[in-house]
Structure 1
Amino acid sequence: MIPKESRNELALDTFIKAHPHLLEEMKELSAEDRQQQILWAFEDEAESRGLEAWELALELIAR
């Protein structure tokens, strides 16, 4: 079993790799702000799919 923190990191990494334009848009932000923006984009993606963020995380890491 993958620890929760590792699952979240893996899901966010998978998400950002599928949306490289987000990193380009955020390149001027600090690392902390970039992480927050990625998290918000991830949560927005989950919401747009009618999922909770944890459900999207599970979907992404199950691939």
Structure 2
Amino acid sequence: MRRAGLQRVAQVSSLASRRNDDMLSVMPAGVVIFPGSGITGNLADKARRLGISVWQAAGDGA
């Protein structure tokens, strides 16, 4: 069971990364980043490398 769980996590991570790449491929004027996972941080890093403005939302949310 544990291996299946790890495979699922890898699949979700891969899908999220592809979705982020798809969003950045249209070269948006900017992205708003909310606190989250490493995938969110990766989106911010990729956007900066592409010269896309990144706005980082601060705080703990609700």
**TM-score, scaled to structure 2:** 0.37
The structure where strand makes up a greater share of residues is 2
Which gives a bigger RCO, structure 1 or 2 (Cα 8 Å, sep 6+)?
1
The structure where helix makes up a greater share of residues is 1
Higher Cα Rg, which structure: 2
